[in-house]
Chains A and B, each alone.
Chain A
Amino acid sequence: MRRKVIFVLCSLCAVLGFFTVLSVNKVLNSEWELPSAVSSDQERQRIVLITQELDTPFWKLVGQGAANQAEREDVGFELWGSYGKNQEDFLKQVEIALHSKVDGVIVQGNDTDEFQQLARIKAASYGIPIITVANDVPVEKSLRKTYVGSDHYAAGELLVKQLVDDMGKSGEIVLLGDAELEYSERLRLDGMQDNLEQYAGIRSTYIESGSSDEEAADAAQQALNEHPNVDAFILLDIRQARVIMQEISSRTELEPFYLYSFDDGSEASALLTEGKLDAIIEQSPEEMGEKSVEMMMKWLRNEVVPLDSAGYVTDIRIVEGKGELP
């Protein structure tokens, strides 16, 4: 009896002891996951990438590339910006970045007075270097250190070459561009128009397509009304592509037209695979991100002084759609 009682108590003790030790272990080992503290003496440099089009895949890729490069360089990096080309919000972000005395600002160039004001005066007064990316603002207006992105003039040329290859050396084309052309869009337009001058058989017309969807639709109607024999459309702003194509297809078949655009929007790849677009100029957003951060770091570390103010060009290439050509 006595032995039985002692045995039962001992085994109970052993079992409970085992579980208690497990539990105690768990309690002792479960650390509260607090973010690790940072010592105040070693401040990392901070770089901000600010864009107006946070919502587009293009800018997401730019941000991703920049973030990767920042991680490699061990600098603090954040992607700021506004959605849907919200100018006011964008400028506010830039201002905040400058007031926050970040070490470098990489910004999507914005060809407005307010932006130039900020870049020229405020950034200079705080001594913060600015690098434009993807969209440039001329150096004399913005005092930017350099530009990283595609050569838009070359992109225009490349597209014209593709057009001539597809359509031949004669035909009628319509160029559609939104109300306020960005510096980069203007460069593309220049590139195309300069090139088209070589081909006497090609008649080109530039139609302003406004900034809203309704205006774009109207512009498409206008183009079809005024130029019934039009063979090709070139859209400077890919964000308007879907609306315009819808408008065209509501009037007639979409197939006979050549449709070209420049990829800096969200719909390019979808439209390409649907076969509605015949070709687009594809840029290298990730490369832009990486390169911009790299250049900024080189500047901050005084490795390359001064930076090439003409800019660092990233790769562009033509991508053809899958749709059957007429």
Chain B
Amino acid sequence: MNTIQKKIWMLAGIVIVMMFAIWLALTFYNQKMQDQYNDILQRYLQMNEVTASSQQTVTNLNDYLSNPTARSANTLASSQQRLQDAQSSLLELRNADNEFSLTNYSNMIESFTETVERSTVFSEQGENDTALSEFTEANRMSVYISEMTLSIFNSELRTYERFYRDIIRQSQELNTMGILLLSLTSVLLLLFTYLFSLSITKPVHQLTKAANELAKGRFDQPIRVNSNDEISFLAKTFDHMRVNINKLILEIQQKAQVESELQESQLLLQQSQMRHLQSQINPHFLFNTLNTLSKKAYLDGAEDTSDLLVSVAGLLRYNLKRLDHTVTLEEEAHVLTQYMDIQKARFSDRLTFHIDLDQSALLYQMPSLTLQPLIENAVIHGIEPKEDDGEIWFRIKDETQYIRIEIEDNGQGMDGNKIEQLLKGGITPQEGHATGIGFSNVAKRLQLFYGSDNVVEIESMPQCGTKIILKLPKVMEVESYV
């Protein structure tokens, strides 16, 4: 990751490297020029040394000849040594232009040295006249040497004049280059700085814009920042936060929906209770009266009537007590048979009731007063309009996954539209219901209880009867719901 710190370091690094490079180049050239100047000066100094030492040699030779002592011999030898040193360094000064004259010069010094030596040798042998003539010769040669030095100086000056001009031109070019380099560096720096500042401010700007969006409540737009530094990290975190907030909002919305559903179910319950209350006109009086009637009928020997009255009483009691409780399937089935007993008494031969119970399924719990309204529907819509041969099947089967309850009649049936209306609860219950609880109420209560939408199914065709199928999950021991 390219951090902002890294970027700053890089910028500073580039500046430092550039400055360093320029400084290095300028220093290098300066040094080169200085070396050249030094070389040239050195040449002149070396040549001057030759002249000076040759003249000194002549003076010392003169001293020696007039006063030949060990001391003057020593000074002569040392000045000769000095001259030879100067001569040996001369060879390094040769170049194409002055090769000829410098070789001459060097040879001249050699000849001079030889002459001086000859002079001393003659002097030692006592041949003073010859020594003196050699001294004269040496003196003349010393003059030649100084003259030659001057002429070489002259030619060197001519040679190096060109060089000086070159150096001056070079330094002028160096100046131009320096100015150009400086301006180039400045512009480059400006560019870099601009890009660099842009790389920082642009993501910040994008982030600000995104924050504004969030502040306005738009949580659905993802935050994108084109950068690879800390700002992008910030942006990512920010985006993460946005996603989390989004999720939380959704959750809250879901919770609110669940709550509203809950309220709805309570409302339905209250509604059924209301209906229920409406239907119980002094139920205990009715209940007691029914029991008295049952006893009376039994005593009078009308046992059928007595049984019927017991059934009616049981049904009544059930209705009174159990609306907001769960019951076992067995209880529910029992109420259903009592109800069917009553109906059988009413319709006698016109109604045949078939019941088929799977004993293992009867233990499970379900909401009360669910099956009775359904079978009531079957009686009202399936049997009442028919002249005879009305049949109703009631089956409970244990299907391992769930419990399957079927209530089937062979009445006139209904078409798809009606089925749909029924399922959506668009049809209000008609008069004649024992409890006043309609199909849709039952269906809704089952759905709420089991928390599942496909509990109730209807199979029906016009003139071919109706079959209501409940698929109930297996629920044990639920004391109450709501």
Contact = CB atoms under 8 A, between A and B. Distances in A.
Contact of B108 (A5, A38, A43, A100): A100
Interface in B89-139: 91-92, 94-101, 103-105, 107-108, 110-112
Nearest to B195: A6
Contact of B103 (A46, A77, A99, A126): A46
Contacts of A44: 99
B106 to A, nearest CB: 9
Interface stretch (B170-178, B209-217, B222-230, B399-407): B170-178
A252 interface: no
A36 B95 contact: yes
A100 B107 contact: yes
A78 B104 CA distance: 11
Contact of B181 (A20, A33, A35): A20
Nearest to B145: A99
A204 B197 CA distance: 110
Contact of A16 (B98, B107, B187): B187
A19 B110 CA distance: 55
Given A2-B198, A6-B191, A19-B180, A40 B36 contact: no
Contact of A30 (B100, B166, B191, B194): B166
B170 A27 contact: yes
Contacts of A6: 191, 194-195
A301 interface: no
Interface stretch (A7-15, A217-225, A240-248): A7-15
The 4 closest A-B pairs by CB, nearest first: A100-B104, A35-B95, A101-B107, A35-B97
Contact of A33 (B166, B184, B194): B166
Say whether chain B's binding surface is mostly helix, strand, loop, or mixed.
helix
A23 interface: yes
A23 B176 contact: yes
Interface in A99-153: 99-102, 126
B476 interface: no
B173 A26 contact: yes
A126 B188 CA distance: 71
B274 interface: no
Nearest to A40: B91
Contacts of A99: 107-108, 111-112, 141, 144
B302 interface: no
Contacts of A10: 191
B97 to A, nearest CB: 4
A76 interface: yes
Contact of A17 (B108, B144, B184): B184
A305 interface: no
Given A6-B195, A23-B180, A46-B103, A12 B95 contact: no
A78 B102 CA distance: 13
Given A13-B191, A17-B184, A99-B108, A33 B173 contact: no
B163 interface: yes
Given A38-B95, A101-B107, A27 B174 contact: yes
A40 B106 CA distance: 12
B177 A27 contact: yes
A163 to B, nearest CB: 46
Contact of A37 (B94, B140, B169): B94
Contacts of A38: 94-96, 99
Contacts of A37: 94-96
Given A23-B180, A76-B99, A99-B107, A33 B162 contact: yes
A26 B194 CA distance: 32
A200 interface: no
B163 A33 contact: yes
Contact of A9 (B177, B183, B190): B190
B167 interface: yes
A221 B180 CA distance: 79
B180 A96 contact: no
Interface of A: 2, 5-6, 9-10, 12-13, 16-17, 19-20, 23-24, 26-27, 30, 32-38, 40, 43-44, 46, 76-78, 92, 95-97, 99-102, 126
A38 B101 CA distance: 13
Contacts of B187: 9, 12-13, 16
Interface of B: 29, 36, 91-92, 94-101, 103-105, 107-108, 110-112, 140-141, 144, 148, 159, 162-163, 166-167, 169-170, 173-174, 176-177, 180-181, 183-184, 187-188, 190-191, 194-195, 198
Contact of A35 (B92, B98, B198): B98
Given A34-B163, A46-B100, A100-B107, 13 more contacts: A9-B187, A19-B180, A26-B173, A27-B174, A30-B166, A32-B163, A33-B162, A35-B95, A36-B95, A37-B95, A38-B94, A40-B94, A99-B112
A9 B197 CA distance: 15
12 contacts: A6-B191, A13-B191, A27-B177, A30-B169, A30-B173, A32-B166, A36-B96, A46-B100, A78-B101, A96-B108, A96-B148, A100-B104
A256 to B, nearest CB: 52
Nearest to A34: B163
A97 B98 CA distance: 16
Contacts of B111: 99-101, 126
A34 B162 CA distance: 8
B184 A20 contact: yes
A20 B180 contact: yes
A33 B170 CA distance: 11
Contacts of B163: 32-34
A77 B99 CA distance: 11
A32 B159 CA distance: 12
B433 to A, nearest CB: 79
B173 A23 contact: yes
Nearest to B102: A38
A13 B99 contact: no
Residue of B91, B95, B184 with most partner-chain A CB within 10 A:
B184
Nearest to B101: A78
Contacts of B91: 40
B184 A13 contact: yes
Nearest to B198: A2
A34 B95 contact: yes
Nearest to A12: B187
Given A16-B187, A23-B177, A26-B173, A101 B110 contact: yes
A19 B108 CA distance: 54
A33 B148 CA distance: 25
B167 A32 contact: yes
A40 B159 CA distance: 20
A102 B21 CA distance: 52
A31 to B, nearest CB: 8
Contacts of B110: 101
A5 to B, nearest CB: 6
A323 to B, nearest CB: 45
Nearest to B91: A40
Given A13-B191, A27-B170, A32-B36, A78 B176 contact: no
